[in-house]
Structure 1
């Protein structure tokens, strides 16, 4: 997230990847770590289990997490950030929805900010984060209505997942089509709320 912010603030670009992103990070004084830093015994075990089962291209159970955040300041400016550990068994250099602006992450002061988790390929095809904001801005749908409708479209593609949304007015909503989604929210009025399970599309 710090590197993404540096790209926004200190370059003319929207998205950098690969060696160019790493060089830019070094130029900006952002700490890099060796790829071995990300390795854990549990994730290695999960990969070996998946390979032994030979069920398909990758783990389509999508049991592993994305970390996302959306925020709104006192002036109605919104922001979104999304980070993921990837998908077990993915092909090397596969890019999921998390870093794709408009798919897994999007922020527009005219509508809201959205961070997504779920079936990356379907979220990219549907342009989920942008589509939610477009429905709010152009069709006048509520944040909850737009989020629920777009996730329903993802469902027609056999995709699942969830989103968190904040509007420039500070309204926050959750929507998900999985049994649960780790989530929380807080506001200036003293609301502090967390949840894991709940009905799909539930705000609680």
Structure 2
């Protein structure tokens, strides 16, 4: 009997070791926004286009890491692909403000040094994520906004475009629809009433922010987020994406986080930094910490999602909407893309 028990114990240990050996280690994750994304409303062609764009972004980031470049390089390269696609609310596909302008925001953070850079309300930088990185690496500041940020980007040699570059028919039509439904009031919902966010009935118009978190060969994390903001937004509104600690945060000792959703709630809950703090001070895992914070956002009336990657390659990709464009790459190069719940 003793021999049988030892054999059984040995078998269980071997099985456990096998499971652990098969545990996936992720090196790069992305999101392309969250919201009311239903399969019944998606044509096969459009679904295929989203999956192809996310796959290309993931493959680009993975290739960058395999070349021995840094996690910052991988995040920037990955987000470039998404910013250059008209499918996402970032860069080329940015939504329009109430005044018919495209105002873009972005942030990036280095998990090794806690250096960060962000831009908000820019109108001429082709790839806003590069503008954020330039602020981090080529200035003594963390955030620049508006015309000053555009001027800085030009001075440091980034690609500058005519604002017409961002025009797409789908986004323009989205603005016309939003204006049609607009109540002309600009009221922020602070959780106590069912008021309209910035006068727009369908706050899902804004979802489409893109983000990436990467873990490089040296064990360093980086996170970045880029967005065109909210359709029909007014008064120079800025969301959570470019705010370090709210929509973007990264620390090698905890995780890299990039958020997407109803920005006001992410700012008020300091979502990205709170996830990091729960990991650092309470010892929670990345999945548990992410779930706790997103649940709090949901209870307050906010919706959206986030991606998070820790230094061991563990991930969390929770969302409380009908869908979130998201994808992963493992250390051995396996790409996975998902859209719906």
Length-normalised TM-score, structure 2: 0.56
Establish whether residue 46 from structure 1 lines up as the match of residue 174 from structure 2: yes
Distance (whole Å) between structure 1 residues aligned to residue 134 and residue 207 of structure 2: 27
User: How does 1:173-184 map onto structure 2 within 5 Å?
Assistant: 173-184=316-327
* Match 1:102 to one of 245, 248, 258: 245
> What is the SS of the residue equivalent to 1:153?
helix
1:59-74 map, 5 Å: 59-62=202-205, 64-74=207-217
* 1:88 paired residue number: 231
Deviation per residue, 1:69-109 (Å, 9 max, x gap): 00111222111110112111111411011111111111111
Consecutive unaligned residues in structure 1, runs of 5 or more: 199-204
Q: Distance in 1 between matches of 2:149 and 2:206?
A: 28
Cα deviation, residue 3, structure 1: 1.4
* Residues 1:26 and 2:154 aligned together: yes
Which structure ranks higher in relative contact order (CA pairs < 8 Å, sequence separation ≥ 6)?
2
TM normalised by structure 1 equals: 0.91
Q: In 2, Cα distance between the equivalents of 1:92 and 1:30?
A: 27
- Note if contact 1:3-1:25 (Cα within 8 Å) is conserved in structure 2: yes
1:187 aligns with 2:330: yes
SS at match of 2:234: coil
Task: Call closer, same or farther: CA 1:107–1:97 in 2, change over 3 Å.
Answer: same
Cα pair 2:207 2:260 within 8 Å, conserved: no
- 8 Å CA contact 2:240–2:266 kept in 1: the answer is yes
SS of aligned partner of 1:113: strand
Q: Which residue number in structure 2 is paired with residue 201 of structure 1?
A: none
Structure showing greater Rg: 2
The aligned runs of 1:158-173 (5 Å cut-off) are 158-173=301-316
Q: Please, what is the CA RMSD of the aligned residues?
A: 1.4
Q: Distance in 2 between matches of 1:81 and 1:18?
A: 19
**Count of matched residue positions in the alignment of Structure 1 and Structure 2:** 198
User: 1:62 offset after TM fit, Å?
Assistant: 4.1
What is the CA-CA distance between 1:51 and the residue it aligns to? 1.7
Deviation of 1:189 after TM superposition, in Å, equals 2.7
The answer to whether the 8 A contact 2:269-2:297 is kept is: yes
Identify the structure with the greater helix proportion.
2
Alpha-carbon distance between aligned partners in 2 of 1:44 and 1:26, rounded to the nearest angstrom: 27
Structure 2: segments with no counterpart, 5+ residues: 1-128, 184-195
Q: Trace 1:99-178 onto structure 2 (pairs within 5 A).
A: 99-178=242-321
Contact 1:172 1:185 in 2 (8 A): no
Of residues 117, 140, 144, the one that matches 1:16 is: 144
CA–CA separation in structure 1 for the residues paired with 2:261 and 2:269: 12
